[in-house]
Amino acid sequence: MKNILKNKSFSFSIHIVQLYKILTEHKEYVLSKQLLRSGTAVGALIREAEFAQSRADFIHKLHISLKEANETLYWLELLYQTDHIDDVLFDENAFLAKELISMLVSSIKTSKKALNHEKTQRSK
């Protein structure tokens, strides 16, 4: 797996933990917990994918990570629209989430092509 995806997802998790701390200092516990769970799951699933049992398992784990990244973007939007975070916090974290989503989509597509190629080679 590319280190850039692994590193960016870990950095994203750190941003989410820091945002969670800010939110809980302001007594926001419900949405912040959802954000923390989904935001840190992105990197954890990418780490899991590193040691996947097969290419199909690798793709599956990346796909779940993609879902978690998209869910995190949802919680960020909700926190922003309900005035729990300001423009700066929203823009920074939403940018990082969208960047990860784009990278995950690309990695999944590449891995699916490789899997299909492997299947084609085996059937010859």
101: number of Cβ within 10 Å: 18
- Among 35, 122, 21, 18, which residue's Cα sits nearest to residue 77? 35
- Count other Cβ atoms within 10 Å, centred on residue 105: 14
Q: Assess if CATH 3.40.640.10 describes domain 3-123.
A: no
pLDDT tens digits, the chain, 124 residues: what are they?
569 999 999 999 999 999 999 999 999 999 999 999 999 999 999 999 999 999 999 999 999 999 999 999 999 999 999 999 999 999 999 999 999 999 999 999 999 999 888 878 877 6
- What ranges do the domains of the chain cover? 3-123
**pTM reported for the whole predicted model:** 0.93
Q: Do 46 and 65 meet the contact criterion of CB atoms below 8 Å apart? A: yes
Q: Contact 28/57 with Cβ under 8 angstroms?
A: no
With b meaning 16 or more CB within 10 Å and e meaning fewer, what string describes 33-64?
eebbebbbbbbebbebbeebeeeeebbbbbbb
pLDDT of residue 121: 81
